[in-house]
Amino acid sequence: MLRQEPHHWDAIVVGGGLAGGAAACHLARAGRKTLLIEKQKHAHHKVCGEFLSFEAQQYLTELGIDAVQLGAAPLRFVRVHYGRRSARARLPFIGLGLSRFLLDEQLLALAAGYGVTIHRGRKVSSIAPAGERWRVEGKDMYGAQADAVFLATGKHELPALKRPAGKQNDFIGFKMHFSCTPAQRRALTEHVEMFLFNGGYAGLQLIEDGQANLCLVVTRQRFARIGRDWDKLLAYIAGSCVALREFLDLATPCWRRPVAITGLPYGFVHAGTGAIEHEDADSIYRLGDQFAVIPSFCGEGMSIALHTARLAVSEFIDGNRAACFHARAFAELSPQIDVASLLGRAFDKPVVQRLGVAACGLFPGLMSKAAARTRLRAFG
Q: Kindly report the length of the chain.
A: 380
- Considering only residues 2 and 341, tell me which one the structure prediction assigns the higher pLDDT: 341
Tell which residue, 306, 363, 303, 380, has the closest CA to residue 336. 303
Provide the CB-side half-sphere exposure for 133 (13 A, CA): 14
Domains of the chain are 7-51+99-165+267-342 (3.50.50.60), 73-96+166-264+347-373 (3.30.9.100)
Task: Report how far residue 120's alpha carbon sits from residue 135's, in angstroms, rounded to the nearest whole number.
Answer: 18
- Considering only residues 171 and 1, tell me which one the structure prediction assigns the higher pLDDT: 171
E strand segments, 207-271: 212-219, 252-253, 259-266
Residue 162, pLDDT > 90, answer no
What pLDDT was estimated at residue 377? Answer: 63
What is the gyration radius of the CA atoms in the chain, in angstroms?
21
Tell which residue, 12, 29, 2, has the closest CA to residue 314. 29
Amino acid at 124: V
Q: Give percent of the chain above pLDDT 70.
A: 85
Give the pLDDT band of residue 357 (cuts 50, 70, 90): low
Amino acid at 285: Y
Mapped onto helix, strand or coil, the DSSP state of residue 318 is: coil
307 within 8 A of 291, measured Cβ to Cβ = no
59 within 8 A of 306, measured Cβ to Cβ = yes
Among 49-53, 82-86, 281-285, the minimum mean pLDDT is found in 281-285
Residue 85, pLDDT > 90, answer no
What pLDDT was estimated at residue 5? Answer: 42
| Burial of 321 per CB tally in 10 Å (0-12, 13-18, 19+) | middle
What pLDDT was estimated at residue 1? Answer: 42
Q: Cα angle vertex 372, ends 370, 375, to 5°?
A: 110
Strand partners of residue 200: 197, 218
Tell which residue, 289, 304, 326, 267, has the closest CA to residue 157. 289
Torsion-angle region of residue 339: left (phi > 0), alpha (psi -120 to 50) or beta?
alpha
Task: Report how far residue 40's alpha carbon sits from residue 203's, in angstroms, rounded to the nearest whole number.
Answer: 26
Average pLDDT over residues 10-35: 97
Average pLDDT over residues 273-279: 47
Q: What is the dihedral of CA 37, 39, 40, 41, to 10 degrees?
A: 60
Task: Report how far residue 326's alpha carbon sits from residue 311's, in angstroms, rounded to the nearest whole number.
Answer: 10
83 within 8 A of 76, measured Cβ to Cβ = no
Residue 184, pLDDT > 50, answer yes
Mapped onto helix, strand or coil, the DSSP state of residue 64 is: coil
Average pLDDT over residues 92-105: 96
Task: Report how far residue 342's alpha carbon sits from residue 335's, in angstroms, rounded to the nearest whole number.
Answer: 11
Q: Give this prediction's pTM.
A: 0.91
What pLDDT was estimated at residue 15? Answer: 96
- Going by the DSSP 8-state scheme, the letter that residue 379 receives in this structure is P
Tell which residue, 379, 370, 352, 198, has the closest CA to residue 299. 370
Task: Report how far residue 134's alpha carbon sits from residue 158's, in angstroms, rounded to the nearest whole number.
Answer: 15
Task: Report how far residue 70's alpha carbon sits from residue 102's, in angstroms, rounded to the nearest whole number.
Answer: 8
Type and span of the H or E element at 292? none
Average pLDDT over residues 322-327: 94
**pLDDT tens figures, 326-356:** 999 999 999 989 888 877 766 666 655 665 5
Q: What is the dihedral of CA 94, 98, 104, 109, to 10 degrees?
A: -90
67 within 8 A of 103, measured Cβ to Cβ = yes
Residue 362, pLDDT > 60, answer no
Residue 264, pLDDT > 70, answer yes
Residue 3, pLDDT > 60, answer no
Average pLDDT over residues 269-273: 78
